[in-house]
Chain A
């Protein structure tokens, strides 16, 4: 047994590091490190920089622009990005839609859409959840009715992350309302968000930010050529896609970056006249989460190595999502606690990129409670932790 990176893996890490040092724009790094919200321009610029390097879609097959990295190499890349303050590339186009088009789309669709995904020129949103279809996704009601060479789409999607910037949205829609099982009447369709009848309405979350949206469809005409795969087979594609969503779900890189943030804050805060970082109670709490993260990092890498050998990642990715979200949430919680009284003033404007007005307390303190509140979502989205536990129990316990 040897838990160190191999020589080749170390060399790869150095290559990633050197690339990030040379190419990560300072403003993006600063926004990410300070915990502010990235602007639309920052997301797009970083995606394009990775695209130009050929690194925006590393897990795709080589012939479509993948890098051929192994899962462990991808994990190294992801971790280095976070530690250097690079933003993550949003998963919707790269990790979700891309693999669906590659596996189930046709050549025209691949030619039309894959280049825009690689470069980041097309911003894709995800249209799955609905007000009545959360954990029970198959209960979705948005309808698509065939009308000549178009579908007419009506309904409402919700929790659409950063949909306010979206150029396109991939949606699950009901094409056969009379199907025997709800799962069998669903199709997967691509909708231009500039189409007439598409309306994006903001949802403000409890941290005061505008990150998610409702997307409403009223008699939206969608060319039939935008149907992916076969009609009424959308559920199969969605299940395939959600498995991909969980790659990197342990969020080890992100949590390591947060741990570093927490330590920075604890070094500047004081308790009993000494830095908080020297306080025995704080040190114990920090050690506890740091050990959990260490174990998570190892579990994640152990699973990745197994995946490289062809093990089914299904239930394991659910386990990683459960514990990964718990560790991440604990880190944000400790950061809010470390911020003390100055976590309390509500100053949501402090989270906007480029904002440099006057604050009560430091920037890190002002952002700590909004971060804590915002990240309560991570045990809810992408299949809540309760749903993840059901997946594990079904697959590993048989009930």
Chain B
């Protein structure tokens, strides 16, 4: 058994770490939020130059042919620094779906993702159907020249900045369609999530699409959607690990330096023991997140789903408890917007919830 990352992976992480430490501190994060955007073209350009977008993409599209452990390492760094950029929606979800469905026709899109020049967002969820990615209230009807789509996609990650949407719609079963943002009838309600990442609700009203907007073989769409969501879930699990490591560092430092009653509060046994419990939970979460990063691309769907659900449920619960415990151990300061802890707690809340919350994945795991 070997839990180590490769040398070149470690180097990638180091350069990403260095770049973010230089270009994206907490104040930069706050000013980005204040300008009500999730996306800074300059930062996006820097990340692209580092090869972050190209890493898991195929060589044919200018990528480095990486795997999901690369994605996990990158995600953890983005979580650690609260980077709101739409990495997961593009590099994890869209790139996978395009690669699986479009063949050579998709190469130009993949090149655009690797080069950071165009953005995509994938929408499966719908209002009133919770965490079911196979929701089929959006319809796709065959027309003489193609398709007509009607429906509503809920909380589409990266939907605020995307040039293209990949949406699921019912055409005798879930099917995938590529929808340019500017198409008539596409209405985008963009917003930021609790932690500053961007998303949107997409309403489709008689959206007319050409025949080739249908992505790939309809019979495979269901499997592809579930696999895409699983990859997204694995990436967010890793993102949480990065954020949790930062929370633990902040909380340890606070326990060490905050004095009350003439001594550091960490010297009170009740707080020391709670901190230890947090660290035990973190180790558990980290282990299962590692397994998720290895199995996220396993072609055996049952194995993959079991591991992803285990990780999403376990890490989700750990996110919740560590978020609560870290605020409690900080006291009032942990409740304030200008202290970084709250932003991390919100990052965890978003990671917990997107692509299925802990309860959803516990139930999926139990029923596999």
Contact = CB atoms under 8 A, between A and B. Distances in A.
A273 B136 CA distance: 12
Interface residues of B, number: 46
B260 A345 contact: no
B219 interface: no
Interface residues of A, number: 44
A253 B128 CA distance: 31
A346 B193 contact: yes
B265 to A, nearest CB: 8
Interface string B180-196: 00000000010111111
Interface string A364-399: 000001000100110111001110010000000000
Contacts of B196: 346
Nearest to A159: B332
Contacts of B302: none
A376 B328 contact: yes
B189 A360 contact: yes
Where chain A touches its partner, the secondary structure class is mixed
Contacts of A203: 336-337
A343 to B, nearest CB: 7
A229 interface: no
A206 interface: yes
A373 B345 contact: yes
B3 interface: no
B349 interface: yes
Contacts of B193: 344-346
B40 to A, nearest CB: 18
Nearest to A384: B331
A337 B354 contact: no
A365 to B, nearest CB: 10
Interface in A136-162: 136, 139, 158-159
Contact of B332 (A134, A336, A340): A134
Contact of B350 (A208, A342, A344): A344
Given A158-B332, A384-B328, A346 B155 contact: no
Given A205-B337, A360-B189, A345 B199 contact: yes
Given A337-B359, A340-B130, A345 B331 contact: no
Nearest to B195: A346
Given A270-B129, A373-B345, A208 B260 contact: no
B260 A139 contact: yes
A53 interface: no
Contacts of A379: 328
Contacts of B268: 386
A386 B266 CA distance: 13
A203 B359 CA distance: 34
A348 to B, nearest CB: 10
28 contacts: A136-B260, A136-B261, A205-B337, A205-B342, A206-B345, A208-B337, A271-B130, A336-B349, A341-B131, A341-B353, A341-B354, A342-B155, A343-B353, A344-B193, A345-B199, A346-B196, A360-B155, A360-B191, A360-B201, A376-B335, A377-B332, A379-B328, A380-B328, A380-B334, A381-B332, A386-B268, A386-B271, A389-B270
